[in-house]
């Protein structure tokens, strides 16, 4: 989980920039298929009389047998993307559980839950057992993070990280886990910082007028912010980042304008 989740209210104070996206279009058949899948899934989304319901931190519901089976395990059941998964766990809270289900096209979906219940991994494999996608949900205190990955011919292609505060960090055209041609961080207000991933370090920035705000996320997940202003005279802004206090101090005309403290919950 990224150590610092930055909300970047600073950008609003220094830079005015917004982005809007379009709504996806669906044809009638896609809508009908979706309704059918949802109806089928709803039938599986109810506990049996012999099961208890446990809700995981990412809102996934798993149904757990009230009694152990002949092997001394609790039997688990869950529905992911309309696919029913089944598995076992040693404890009746689902911790350490592993589940698996097969689609009609023989592709496979698996789910694993860590012993501390703080990480849930869902993976999808094609009929030849090659990974095509994965979702990893992580919880650290009150913060959560979801990482979605897609694969082409078994190799990582894209990655999207969604944080508790709704901001996202997306990588595309990836050659491996540490290198991507394009990286885009999208903030709650639609502002986008763009850059790349090289050697495990993410570098993204946004420019408006004479001001450039740049953010770097090191491989060790430490964060640094930089501000550059090509203006001259009393309007020129400068900034200093403090690693110890996670603070960006902005000044103009040799006078401090404001300290921006970036908290771990994405606020300033």
Q: Are 51 and 66 in contact (CB under 8 A)?
A: yes
Are both 129 and 210 inside the same structural domain?
A: no
Task: For residue 62, report the phi and psi dihedrals to the nearest 5 degrees.
Answer: -120, 145
Q: Does residue 132 belong to any structural domain of this protein?
A: yes
Going by pLDDT thresholds of 50, 70 and 90, the confidence category of residue 254 is confident
Q: Does residue 54 belong to any structural domain of this protein?
A: yes
The rounded percent of the chain whose pLDDT value lies above 90 is: 55
Domain count, the chain: 2
Q: What is the pLDDT of residue 12?
A: 42
Task: For residue 71, report the phi and psi dihedrals to the nearest 5 degrees.
Answer: -95, 5
pLDDT in tens, 112-144: 999 999 999 999 999 999 999 999 999 999 889
Are both 65 and 10 inside the same structural domain?
A: no
Are both 202 and 128 inside the same structural domain?
A: no
Beta-bridge mates of residue 140:
143
Task: For residue 39, report the phi and psi dihedrals to the nearest 5 degrees.
Answer: -65, -45
Q: Are 84 and 61 in contact (CB under 8 A)?
A: no
Q: Does residue 57 belong to any structural domain of this protein?
A: yes
SS3 31: helix
Distance CA 258, CA 256 (A): 6
> Which of 15-19, 123-127, 177-181, 213-217 is least confident?
15-19
Going by pLDDT thresholds of 50, 70 and 90, the confidence category of residue 73 is very high
Output the average pLDDT for the chain.
84
How much is the average pLDDT of 60-67?
96
Beta-bridge mates of residue 102:
108
> Domain holding 209: CATH number?
3.90.930.1
Is the pLDDT confidence value at 263 over 60? no
Are both 177 and 252 inside the same structural domain?
A: yes
Q: What is the pLDDT of residue 211?
A: 87
Q: Does residue 146 belong to any structural domain of this protein?
A: no
Predicted TM-score of the model (pTM): 0.78
Q: Does residue 154 belong to any structural domain of this protein?
A: no
Are both 124 and 220 inside the same structural domain?
A: no
The rounded percent of the chain whose pLDDT value lies above 70 is: 79
11 lies in which domain range? 1-20+166-268
pLDDT in tens, 171-208: 999 999 999 999 999 987 788 999 999 999 999 999 98
Q: Are 181 and 170 in contact (CB under 8 A)?
A: no
């Amino acid at each position: 989980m990224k150590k610092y989740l930055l909300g970047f209210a600073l950008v609003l104070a220094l830079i005015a920039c917004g982005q809007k996206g379009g709504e996806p279009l669906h044809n009638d058949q896609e809508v009908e298929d979706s309704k059918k899948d949802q109806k089928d899934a709803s039938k599986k989304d109810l506990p049996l009389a012999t099961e208890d319901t446990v809700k995981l931190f990412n809102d996934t519901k798993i149904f757990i047998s009230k009694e152990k089976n002949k092997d001394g395990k609790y039997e688990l059941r869950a529905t992911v993307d309309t696919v029913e998964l089944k598995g076992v766990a040693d404890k009746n809270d689902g911790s350490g559980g592993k589940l698996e289900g097969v689609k009609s096209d023989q592709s496979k979906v698996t789910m694993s839950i860590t012993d501390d219940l703080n990480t849930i991994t869902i993976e999808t494999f094609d009929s030849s057992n090659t990974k095509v996608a994965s979702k990893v949900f992580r919880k650290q205190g009150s913060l959560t993070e979801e990482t979605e990955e897609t694969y082409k011919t078994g190799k990582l292609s894209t990655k999207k990280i969604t944080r508790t505060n709704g901001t996202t960090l997306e990588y595309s055209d990836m050659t491996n886990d540490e290198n991507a041609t394009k990286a885009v961080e999208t903030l709650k207000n639609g502002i986008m910082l763009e850059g790349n991933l090289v050697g495990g370090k993410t570098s993204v920035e946004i420019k408006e007028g004479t001001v450039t705000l740049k953010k770097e996320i090191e491989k060790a997940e430490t964060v640094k912010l930089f501000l550059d202003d090509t203006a001259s005279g009393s309007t020129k802004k400068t900034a200093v980042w403090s690693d110890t206090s996670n603070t960006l101090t902005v000044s103009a005309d040799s006078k401090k304008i404001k300290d921006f403290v970036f908290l771990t919950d994405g606020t300033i």
